[in-house]
Every structure is written in structure tokens, then in C-alpha cells.
Structure 1
Amino acid sequence: MSDAWNEGYFTDEGYTYSYSREINPVFQRYCLLLRGFASLETTDGYHCELGFGQGVSINIHAAANPGPYIGTDFHPGQAAHANALATAWNSDARLYDDSFEQLLARDDLPQFDSISLHGIWTWVSRDNQKLIVEFARRHLKPGGLLYISYNCFPGWSPSAPLRHLFRLHDRFATNTCVRPDQRIEAALQFSETLLAANPNYASAVPNLDDKLQGIKGQDRQYVAHEYFNRDWNCMYFTDVVDALAPAKLDYATTAVPLDSVAPLNLSAEGMDFLEGIEHPVMREQARDYFVNQHFRRDLYVRGANRLSAAEQRQGMYNTRFVLLRAAESISDTVRGPAGEATLQTEVYGPVLEALTANAYAPKTLRQLAGSVPSMPYDDLVQAITVLIGMGAAAPCQSEVAEKLVQARCNTLNLQLCKRALLSNKIQILASPVTGGGVPVSRFQLLFLISIKQGRKHPAEWAQLAWGVLAEQGEVLIKDNQPLTTAEENIAELTEQAEAFAEQSLVVLKALNIV
């Protein structure tokens, strides 16, 4: 495509259909509360996403949160997909294909409670970064939050020259008429051949070939947008702090709950060293060296206000939490930069038992504390935080907000289930309880269609799923081998449907998805 409108961004290949929980306002507010910061929580506040990709996250959040949504993605194909999905569930979200300059020129935009940009900052020009900052300066409310994620140093230092090599090959050594996937393959092959010739760079960077092999195994849509844009402005954390300062934005915390669990991230020496640094920005930058940070997910606030210890504790006690998967399927280990840790049975056993009580219904932290009265407050908060960090649990929005969005979540989820009849691109459903998305496989989406049609038995759900797959010439893969007969496929689908009935349905009901 011409650079006349895409400004060097790789638009020849659309982005993935992934979902990002970090853009969920409910999750964002929890991360701020966890670190002791106040946040806005209204049922009519506006939210904005800059660079929404295929629009999966913004549609999920526009359905599952009570406030109106506005967003832009300057790739017209992606904006068209996002709008088609929004139209299917009668959303009032305003989704544009404006550039940041065009969006900033609009005179019909409100003040926002939150502005989010996931995976955008690094891959746009410096001029566009300035436009983003100006947009936040003009349109983020006092007390509003900004979520931003980006590639960063020092973690990217060894691989940055490799990424530059991909881009150079695509720019100088490939005919632009060649298909995007072929251009990507050619650049990867060229880089592999270069490394095989033993340049000094390869000798200076350990495991560089393993890194390249890992990239070759990744989804090509992701690789295209991660490695092949013209602009790539990797920064240190403090560079971004300085860049956002003109918008009156204060760094608050990361949108990574596990970052608050120090032993998962740091050695004893690292914890002692960081404890001696008084300035929070300097301490955070130094921490990036200890964990070798390569990608940050950060929350900034326009006028950050600290909560008192009592206010924070009350906020935590009043917050509801819910499991996102069956307790028996939750791993007993968790991994962080400092290594792997085993969840203590004496702590997590009672917490999981309390969360599963009453058919997995959401519980406030106060209710959980009542169920495990002998557990200290800090241990309980850490256990919940770890489960959220693992993706096994989630904070919930208020019951008032939940009721406001239930009907439109139902409408969106029906459309997403129908899409599973033809495609496996989107495997997520909206929960009015969490305000966000819940991963659901394509097969499970097909099982839900069967349930909505009145079929009560897993064997019936499996038959419908197999009918869809067989018509499209698809088969299941088991133990890395395709299942070749209808009987084998139906047997495997029946087994999965039975597991879905026994484990997943109760969770989806608690999340008010079923």
C-alpha cells in the first residue's frame, strides 16, 4: 500500500483478533486501587481506545461497561470490521478510521474517564506520539486514567538490531508487489542466513538464533505489526514519563497485578537494593534492569491522588471478585521474572474453596475474609492478586453497573456465538460481571449455540459442532495428529462437551454469560 495515508505503518496485513484485558476499565481501576490510587468510577463516563485494531476489545468493553465508547484505528479495513461487529449488536460506540491528527481536529469529542492505547506507542512516529499526548491533554478528565503499553529497554537491547534487519530487508531487498506473507518469510530467511555466517553481533548476543526461531513460529499477523513497521521508537520507562508530562499525567503503577508480588519478580538482593531508592520513578526504572523489562503496561493518572491506608482497605473489602475458570483447572504454580513458585495449599486452598462456594458467585473481599477468618488481610489480598495475575480470577464491577449492561452483553455474545459457525477468529465473550472478556474456545461457542437451541446433552452439542466442522472440511487435532474419521471427531468433541458441562458452565453462569 502507499505511504500516503499509512505513514509507514505495516497495513498490508491486518492485525490479530486478540483481546486485551488491560484495556478493561474495571481491571484498570483495580490495578490502581491495589497500589493505593484513587480513580474515577461513574456509570456515564466516556472511554476511548486509540488504535483498536480489529475492534474485539473495544466492542467487548463497550458492551460490558455502562459508559459510552469512542475509538479510532486508521486502518480502514480494521475499522470496517470493528464497525460491522458493533452494528451487529446495536452498539452506540463511535468507531472511526481517523488518524490521530484527524481525531485531534474533531470538535465533537467529550472528556474521557479513560484513554487506552495498547501496542501503539512504539510503532508510530514521534510526531504521532506528540499528537497522542496532546489528545490526552485536551480530552482526559482530571482524575482520569491513561493506559499505555510499549516496547522498552533494557530488555529489547539485544534484539533491536534483529528487528532492524527485518525492516531493512523488507525496505530494500523485496519487491513491494510480493504478498505480505512472502515478504515476511524472505526477511526472516535472510536474517537466518546472516546469523549462520557468524557475524560478531551474533557472537555478542547469547541465544539470538533461538530468538529468531521463536519469531518464525509466531502468528504472521502479529509478526508483521511487531517487526515490519517503518517507525519503531523503543524507549526507556523514564522517556515515556517525560513524554507524557505535558498532558499533566503522573505515573501510578503497572497494569500487571503480579508486579506487586515482589518475590515473583526480584531476588532478595534486588528487593534490598530497590528499597533504598526513594524516588518512585527512579526506583521503577531501576527495577526494569533487575527484571530485564522488554514490554511495559502502565497506568498514568491526570492528577494522581493517593488513598489513605483505611480508604484503600475499604475499597478492597468492597470489591467483588470472581473465578474465570473451574478451580480444579487452575495451575498450582505461577511464574515471574525471578522464576517459578508453587502456590501454598494452606493459603490458596481455602481461598479457592471460598470463591467456588454458591456456584462460583462473585464475592467481596469482605465476604472472602469472613470465609477464611484466620487468614491475615495481606495474605488474602496477595492470594487474590496472584489469581488475577494468572488470569484465573478477575475483579468485578458494581452490581448496579452489571445490571445496566446485561442485555447488551447478551446481544453481543449471541453475535459472537453465531460467528463461530463460520470462523474461529474471535474466541471471547463479554461478561457483565467483570466488564471484560472471558476466553471461550470455538468448540465451546458452538456448544453454547446448542444449549440456546434447547439441546440438553453433551452428545447433542458435539453433533452440532461436528456438523459445522465437517461441512467446512475441518477436523480436530489430537496428540498432534488429525482425527480422520467422523467417529473419532465426534468422540473427541463429546469428551470436550462433557468436560464443558462439568467444569465450565457453572463458571459462565456465575459470570452471567449463560
Structure 2
Amino acid sequence: MSNAWNEGYFTDEGYTYSYSREINPVFQRYCLLLRGFASLDSSDGYHCELGFGQGVSINIHATANPGTFVGTDFHPGQAAYAVELAAAANNGARLYDDSFEQLLARTDLPQFDSISLHGIWTWVSRDNQKLIVEFTRRYLKPGGHLYVSYNSFPGWSPSAPLRQLFSLHDRFANTSSRPDQRIDAALQFSEALLAANPKYAAAAPSLGARLQSIKGQDRQYVAHEYFNRDWNCMYFADMVDALAPAKLDYATTAVPLDSVDPLNLSAEAMDFLETIAHPVMREQARDYFVNQHFRRDLYVRGANRLSAAERRAQMLHTRFVLLQPATSVPAAVTGPAGEASLQVEIYGPVLDALADQAYAAKSMRQLLGATAPLTFDDLEQALAVLVGMGVVAPCQSEASESLVQDRCAALNLQLCKRSLFTAKVQVLSSPVTGGGVTVSRFQQLFLISIKQGRKLPAEWAQLAWGVISEQNEVLIKGDQPLLTAEQNLAELTEQAQAFAEQSLVVLRALKIA
């Protein structure tokens, strides 16, 4: 943390190689449409991501969408990895290791249809937050949208002092140069402090369990979530004020399940919120009812509400696709208000229709015809719930899909080849959804086998075992490592068989396999 360029950001440990669907422009436009907002939708649009981490999401989206993507992450190692992925896909992404100040000073940037920052706002300084707002003011098109996620109150109120302990110990009491040892020392210090029974711990009795949960999390995630010098948690209303200079209006969350009130609110809460007229006050009050700790929000520069007829027409035109076998979709969904069963009489026909014709993507109009006598409202809510659960995705147009299919195939081949050596990136790009789809390392190795002409699951398993055995790795089943080649091959063959019978049809519909 001594380098001046990092501005207090924890750069000793690289960020994870995770993927965020919320940054997908196709997904963002669906979330806006769900709440009745118009959005820019041009195949030659420009999109920007600020703070792209290892660049997995921005490269997936730059490959699977027909527009042009620009992004920055001031960590040079992460930027280098992202640039390498962009070259492998030949997706035309312009990726930099600029600070926000350097990016703002550029004179070669276009006007953007969308700007996104996921997991950035809370962990940068107030000065950098102002630079982000100014960047948005200058470069977001009228009608364009901003996606921003951030830690929020009141949900973080009990745990915020615990996070402060971690960061302060790292600044003032660490004795190691190794990031993993520094993190563990801060966690141990905090555990010892709580064990000494401070009054703060008595006032927040859930802290012990929270600390134990953090101790079990991935150290790369913990480093960037808890150990940056800057940590600016905000109330929703304060974020609205912060973004006002960029002429942004709050539109909706990028959480489709938020549109289903019974999953989030009690009847008493819904009645109370109905008494609040001002939308900002109502949304802020809602955060108290759900104890919101992390928001994923969409703001629009020049909010344009669609008429009911326009919204219905656009929704009927939107295509949807299953991301997993219909038989593996959970029978219930959980929200802040508790668990709710998926009604068989509604969700059964919807899942059957989505799985029909080898899982091919279908418009809501086609689904409405296939699920009669379901009403438009019932189908729309069912799709919103399934999208929220991550088992269904909205799709881009078939014209856009055809424009990006070849480069998706190129990127996916390169990612699968990397799975021969590492399990870092477990997501592939879909030209159908414009986004990423989780595909495990072994499944990627199975896809390599199929590309090589191997037709039998046992052959796919043989290739996978050959790869990991050469690297002195074994599978874990339950909590136990499989120690013999026969045990590992049997487990891999079982996985390959399940892949052939259940997952392959889905990946083919997504134009990945």
C-alpha cells in the first residue's frame, strides 16, 4: 500500500476473475424496460466500464455485443490481462490502465450509450467519486444510462465499524509484506477484540458470525471488499444527490426480483410505502424495510417513460432463453420477505415452453401463445422471477446475435484452451444473451474434447483426467479427495455423462457449444 499511484486502493492482491451480468447492456435494457423506461438500443453504440478488474466482464460483453466498448482499470497487471483477452477475441475493446483523472483528461473518447461501474464507487475516494460524476456528465449521451453498485445503509450499519478495524490494522499495525498474512492478522486482531467483550459487540450481537463468515471467504475478494483505505458507504438518497450534477435520474434497480413486492415486503410494509408520494423518499424508506446493504442501480440521463402500449409491445418482442436444464430449476425463490414456492400451474408451462425446440430462445409473444391461458401479467412476472433467479436471461435481437457469433466462438475457444492450465475464468460468452454463462473448468475441457471430435462422455473424461493428473491435481467429492486414477475417472465420467444429457442442449441453444 506504499505506491503513490494506488491512491490507497489495495493493489497487493489482484481482483477475482468473476463475471457480473449486471454490466451486460442487454440485461440493463431489460431491467429498464421492466420498469417502463426507454433506453438507447443501437447496434453501433458505445459502452464504458470504469474499474473493470481483470476484464472478464468487459471482454465478454465487448465480444458478445455489436457495439464498441471502452474501459479502464488503473491496476496495470489487471489491465494487461484484460488487453490480452481482448486481443484473443479481436473484439475491438479499447482498454486502458488510466486513473479516472487520466481518463477524464483524454480527448479521444466517444459519447456513450451506457457507463457502468460495479463494486467501485464505495471503495474510491470522494475526489474520485467526483471525477466519476464529471466523466458521466461529459460523456453519457442524453437518453443513456449509468449502472452503479455500492454498499449502502442501513444494512451496513452494524458491520461498518468491523470493516474499519480491518483497514486500520492493515495501515497501522501490520508487520508483513505478504497480503494474505496481513489480511489474516487483521482478522485475528478483530476476533481478539470482540472476544474482549467491548460494548460495541454487545450492541451488535451478529458480529461474531459475520466475522467467521468473512474468514471463510476468498482472500482476493476480502482484500478488495474490506482493506482499501477509502470506504464510502451511502444511503440511497445521498447517491441520488451525488449523481444529480450529471443530470441523472434514478430509474430502477438492476435486480429483477425487486419488481416482485411480495418477495421483498410484508403486507404492512407495502401498505406503508403506498402512503409515500415522493419516489426518492419511498425508495429510501424501502431500504429500511429490506435492510438494504448493497444496491445495484440504474440511472438515466433524461428519463423517458414508455406508454403502457409501447412497453407491452417491446416486452412482447423481447426474447428469453433458459440458462440451465428446466428440470434443475429450484422449486422456490427467496427474498427479504422469505421464501415463496414457484406455482406449478404458472411456472410449469413457462419452463416447458422455454425448453421446447431444444431450448431455442423465444420471444415473450411466442411464450404467451405457448402458455395460454396465462395472462401477459402472469407471464411477465414469472419471467422476471426466473431472470432474477439467474435461470433465464433476456436476449438481444437475432440481427445482433449474428453480428457477434464468430468472435464469441473465438473468445470461447481461447478461454477453453486456458482451462487446460487454470480454473481462473469459468464463464463463456453467448451471442444469444450478449453476456456470460457459467461453464466450469471441467465442462470447458469437455467442450475441447467435442471440438476434437470425441463423441463419448468417457472420452471427454479421459482428456480432463489427463490434464489435471499431469498437474498433480485430483477431484474432491464431498470433503474427501479422490486418490486413485480409477476414482477420478469414474467421477469425471459421471460428470461428463450429466453434461451430455442435461447441459449440452442448453449450451447449444446459447450458441456456445
The alignment's TM-score, normalised by the length of structure 2, stands at 0.99
Aligned to 2:54: 54
| Paired residues for 1:45-444 under 5 Å | 45-175=45-175, 177-444=176-443
Deviation at residue 467 of structure 1 after TM alignment: 0.2
Paired letter, 1:52: F
Paired letter, 2:167: R
Deviation at residue 280 of structure 1 after TM alignment: 1.0
SS at match of 1:402: helix
Deviation at residue 207 of structure 1 after TM alignment: 1.4
Deviation at residue 88 of structure 1 after TM alignment: 1.8
Deviation at residue 279 of structure 1 after TM alignment: 1.1
For residues 115 and 462 of structure 1, the distance between their equivalents in structure 2, rounded to whole angstroms, comes to: 42
In the alignment, structure 1 residue 484 sits paired with structure 2 residue 483: yes
Paired letter, 1:243: A
For residues 118 and 357 of structure 2, the distance between their equivalents in structure 1, rounded to whole angstroms, comes to: 36
Deviations 1:287-339 (A, max 9, x none): 00000000000000100000111111111100000000000111111110111
SS at match of 1:189: helix
Aligned to 2:21: 21
Paired letter, 1:342: S
Paired letter, 1:181: D
For residues 436 and 277 of structure 1, the distance between their equivalents in structure 2, rounded to whole angstroms, comes to: 37
Deviation at residue 430 of structure 1 after TM alignment: 0.2
For residues 268 and 473 of structure 1, the distance between their equivalents in structure 2, rounded to whole angstroms, comes to: 56
Deviations 1:328-377 (A, max 9, x none): 11111111011111111111000000000000001100000001121111
Deviations 1:104-153 (A, max 9, x none): 00000000000000000000000000000000000000000100000000
Deviation at residue 84 of structure 1 after TM alignment: 1.1
Paired letter, 1:245: A
For residues 400 and 482 of structure 1, the distance between their equivalents in structure 2, rounded to whole angstroms, comes to: 47
SS at match of 1:98: coil
SS at match of 1:298: strand
Deviation at residue 91 of structure 1 after TM alignment: 2.7
Aligned to 1:512: 511
Deviations 1:461-492 (A, max 9, x none): 00000000000010001111000000000000
Deviation at residue 389 of structure 1 after TM alignment: 0.4
For residues 91 and 6 of structure 2, the distance between their equivalents in structure 1, rounded to whole angstroms, comes to: 27
SS at match of 1:145: strand
SS at match of 1:166: helix
SS at match of 2:58: helix
Deviation at residue 85 of structure 1 after TM alignment: 1.2
For residues 83 and 469 of structure 1, the distance between their equivalents in structure 2, rounded to whole angstroms, comes to: 28
For residues 52 and 153 of structure 2, the distance between their equivalents in structure 1, rounded to whole angstroms, comes to: 25
For residues 412 and 422 of structure 1, the distance between their equivalents in structure 2, rounded to whole angstroms, comes to: 16
Aligned to 1:495: 494
Deviation at residue 218 of structure 1 after TM alignment: 0.5
Deviates more, 1:202-211 or 1:84-93: 84-93
Aligned to 2:2: 2
SS at match of 2:396: coil
Deviations 1:253-292 (A, max 9, x none): 0000000000110000001111111111111000000000
Deviation at residue 59 of structure 1 after TM alignment: 0.4
Deviations 1:59-78 (A, max 9, x none): 00000000011000000010
For residues 144 and 477 of structure 2, the distance between their equivalents in structure 1, rounded to whole angstroms, comes to: 48
Query: Which runs of no fewer than 5 residues in structure 1 stay unpaired?
Result: none
SS at match of 1:218: coil
For residues 45 and 338 of structure 2, the distance between their equivalents in structure 1, rounded to whole angstroms, comes to: 40
For residues 276 and 378 of structure 2, the distance between their equivalents in structure 1, rounded to whole angstroms, comes to: 25
SS at match of 1:110: coil
Paired letter, 2:34: L
Deviation at residue 99 of structure 1 after TM alignment: 0.2
SS at match of 1:334: strand
For residues 219 and 419 of structure 1, the distance between their equivalents in structure 2, rounded to whole angstroms, comes to: 21
SS at match of 2:365: helix
SS at match of 2:429: strand
Deviation at residue 2 of structure 1 after TM alignment: 2.6
Deviation at residue 89 of structure 1 after TM alignment: 2.1
CA RMSD of aligned residues (A): 0.6
Deviation at residue 92 of structure 1 after TM alignment: 1.3
Deviation at residue 3 of structure 1 after TM alignment: 3.6
| Paired residues for 1:460-471 under 5 Å | 460-471=459-470
SS at match of 2:268: helix
For residues 37 and 91 of structure 1, the distance between their equivalents in structure 2, rounded to whole angstroms, comes to: 29
Identical amino acids, percent of aligned pairs = 79
For residues 478 and 16 of structure 2, the distance between their equivalents in structure 1, rounded to whole angstroms, comes to: 26
For residues 89 and 58 of structure 1, the distance between their equivalents in structure 2, rounded to whole angstroms, comes to: 12
SS at match of 1:37: coil
For residues 224 and 131 of structure 1, the distance between their equivalents in structure 2, rounded to whole angstroms, comes to: 24
Paired letter, 2:310: E
Deviation at residue 103 of structure 1 after TM alignment: 0.1
Paired letter, 2:160: A
Deviation at residue 90 of structure 1 after TM alignment: 2.1
For residues 474 and 444 of structure 1, the distance between their equivalents in structure 2, rounded to whole angstroms, comes to: 16
Query: Which runs of no fewer than 5 residues in structure 2 stay unpaired?
Result: none
User: How many pairs align?
Assistant: 513
Deviation at residue 32 of structure 1 after TM alignment: 0.2
For residues 392 and 123 of structure 1, the distance between their equivalents in structure 2, rounded to whole angstroms, comes to: 30
SS at match of 2:164: helix
The alignment's TM-score, normalised by the length of structure 1, stands at 0.99
Deviations 1:197-222 (A, max 9, x none): 11100000021100000000000000
SS at match of 2:300: strand
Deviation at residue 93 of structure 1 after TM alignment: 0.7
Paired letter, 1:71: G
For residues 501 and 326 of structure 2, the distance between their equivalents in structure 1, rounded to whole angstroms, comes to: 12
